[in-house]
Amino acid sequence: MLIALPVWPRAGSVVKAINKANEYGFDYVEISLDYPWPEKLRGKTLEEIKEAKAKYGVELAIHAPWRDVSLASPRPILREAALKLFDECLEFASKLSPLYFNLHVASREAWTIEGVRKALEEAAVRSIKHIAEKARQLGIEITVENNPDPLFGVPSMLKPMVEIEGVKLCLDVGHVAYARWTVEHRGMDLFKEEAVDLEEWVKTFKGKVLVGHLHDYAAEDHSFQDHLLPGTGSADVKKDLSLLKEAGCSMILLEVHWAGKRKPAKFKDLARALNIIKPLIK
């Protein structure tokens, strides 16, 4: 099983992340195209990333942008703009020969109005079909990740997309818990029967899970925080990892953004996370 280090806003440059991944013993780096923006990774910077990848033998994966991206919009003009962005991101990703290209489908539409949820789901499937075809042309594997919100964060909404040829699931264990917590604590009864636990996700998608996002989380009565360093929250990380393995997951991103509830994680904290998780994989 391959284990990844993430690059997010506080992590610094991608080249530095590749260097650190090699130093600590990570197998690959997952680059978020929200931060750094892909436009900033072209030219000389792109060549430096390629050189670092070759020098250290560290593979790369891509996390697609999701902020202000309307892949599920029923309005064609918005959805088409999102697809244009994704075409550009896939072209960029192809230059790095990534292990996978992971994406979210999200929406801020008023899904409680009759007919809107169905329109969102249909638009999402059309978008993923377009992205999957583009990815096939470029030789890139696509994964769709479950959201921390129940909208596109429950199995019934992800399944039609994962059934598309060439598409697999990125299963984020903290997002599964967060979606359930949101339904229970925010009165989202329309999703009550659909917000299931991790065991049910594994049963539904066994054999279709390529990547897992692993981290701790703290679920309390009035708050929920995920992306914590293993051992600093309330999750059973060992059990979560075991379930990801059962699902057939072959790659794990240690998506740790926080060393503590109010303490942003640094590279050294990712090394700690790796040392905690690695013995559990054997």
* pLDDT reading at 67 higher than 80: yes
List pLDDT tens digits, range 126-149. 999 999 999 999 999 999 999 999
Are 60 and 41 within 8 A, CB to CB? no
- Among candidates 25, 87, 84, which has minimal Cα distance to 56? 25
Confidence of residue 262 (pLDDT cuts 50, 70, 90): confident
Give pLDDT tens digits for 91-127: 999 999 999 999 999 888 878 888 999 999 999 999 9
Q: Is 9 a residue whose pLDDT tops 60? A: no
DSSP 8-state code for residue 9: G
Which CATH number is 2-281 given? 3.20.20.150
Pairing of strands 216-219, 224-228: antiparallel
Q: Hey, is 145 helix, strand or coil?
A: strand
The total number of residues written for the chain in this structure: 282
Query: Cα separation of 196 and 179, whole Å?
Result: 9
Question: Is the peptide bond prior to 150 cis by the omega test (within 30 degrees of 0)?
Answer: no
Over 70: is that where the pLDDT of 61 sits? Answer: yes
> Cβ distance 202 to 243 under 8 Å?
yes
Beta bridge partners of 7: 31
pTM of the model: 0.95
